Amino acid sequence: MKKLLAAIGRFMKRPVAIGGAGVFTIVGIAIGVVGYIGFHTALKMSTSTEFCISCHTMRDNNFEEDKTTIHYKNPVGVRAECSDCHVPKAGWPLYKAKIMVARDVWGELTGSIDTREKFESERLRLAKIVWAEMEANDSAQCRSCHSFESMDFEHQKPNAAKMMKKAMTEGDTCIDCHKGIAHHLPDMSSGYKSMFKDIVAKAPDNRGADTLYAMNTTELYDKKPADDSARAAGNILPLTKVHVEERDGDWMKVTIKGWMQEGMERVLVKEMGAACSWPP
């Protein structure tokens, strides 16, 4: 044993010659280790809620909405952080999400949504991006906490239990029914309102056509009034189709085709019996 220990001692005292390749190998390993630790430290820090709300756009809009929901404060004291809903847990999806977040940083730096008005104007577009991602991954972030198998349907409200069982059977994903659970829902009609504004803006260019559609509720007269005190005989509702017979400046004599129901002669409807279809 003494001879073995003496041999080990002599070996440890021997000068070690390291060639260029060895130096590069050791330095490369050191850089790799430091880089790996630094990368994952930065990854963890940039995934925290504190980091997310360091941008005023997130702090003043999304976070203020989140604080009013059950995901932020609830009887059991379990809080969902930003990353729990918006950042994949591991692997390539996580790295991809962190790379794509550069768009948000650029948007913050350039002030693309630096006011409440700008944020609201972009809310629907941004929400659709998140919804599409959650639909594509089957609401993976939601399922990291929630699962059908763990649900006690007997202690859910009857209607909730019914819908949950239906979703489980039909393979629905969480975001199908739970949009707006952590943030305010966008105005889903904003896109249509924008389209309607464009159509109204272009409408004057088409006034010379023989067939027109009312863009707004328009007063209807049995004859051209002599002055502004004349009372309208009725109204044409939006999207009513009219055929122009004669023109007199801004005034038009039109024909409207439709159906009248007995006892409701003052109402003209497009389809027979349509006036009796409410409530459905």
Report the b/e string of 159-174 with b at 16+ CB within 10 A. Answer: eeeeebeebeeeeebb
pTM, full prediction: 0.57
Q: How far, in Å, CA of 63 to CA of 49, rounded?
A: 9
List the structure tokens of 121: 């104007």
Decide: 65 and 181 in contact? Cβ < 8 Å: no
Q: Name every residue whose Cβ is closer than 8 Å to that of residue 260 and which is 6 or more positions away in sequence.
A: 267, 268, 269
At 164 the pLDDT is 92
Sequential DSSP letters for 56-122: HHIIIIIHHHHTTSTTTS-TT-----HHHHHS-SSHHHHHHHHHHTHHHHHHHHHTTT-SHHHHHHH
CA angle 17, 21, 25 (to 5 degrees): 100
Give the least confident one: 28-32, 188-192, 266-270.
188-192
Q: Quick one: pLDDT band at residue 126, thresholds 50, 70, 90?
A: confident
- CA dist 5 to 13, 15, 16, Å? 12, 18, 19
Give the distance between the most distant pair of CA atoms in the chain.
127
Lowest-pLDDT choice from 84-88, 91-95, 163-167: 91-95
* 181-212 residue pLDDT tens: 888 888 877 667 777 888 888 877 777 888 99
Looking at residue 22, what is its pLDDT?
A: 64
CB 26 within 8 A of CB 16: no
Q: What is the pLDDT of residue 19?
A: 52
User: Which whole-number Å values give the CA distances from 100 to 72, 90, 93, 175, 185, in the listed order?
Assistant: 25, 15, 10, 21, 23
User: What integer best gives the mean pLDDT of the chain?
Assistant: 82
Q: Is the pLDDT of residue 20 over 70?
A: no
**Percent of the chain whose pLDDT exceeds 90:** 10
- The H-or-E segment that residue 42 falls in is helix 20-45
pLDDT over 50 (residue 129): yes
Please compute the mean of the pLDDT values over residues 244-272 and round it to a whole number.
83
Per-domain boundaries in the chain: 45-176, 190-276
- The total number of residues written for the chain in this structure: 280
What does the pLDDT average to over 111-137? 87
The pLDDT of residue 264 is 74
The pLDDT tens digits of the residues spanning 36-49 come to 787 778 777 888 88
- What per-residue confidence (pLDDT) applies to 279? 37
Residue 251: φ, ψ to 5°: -90, 150
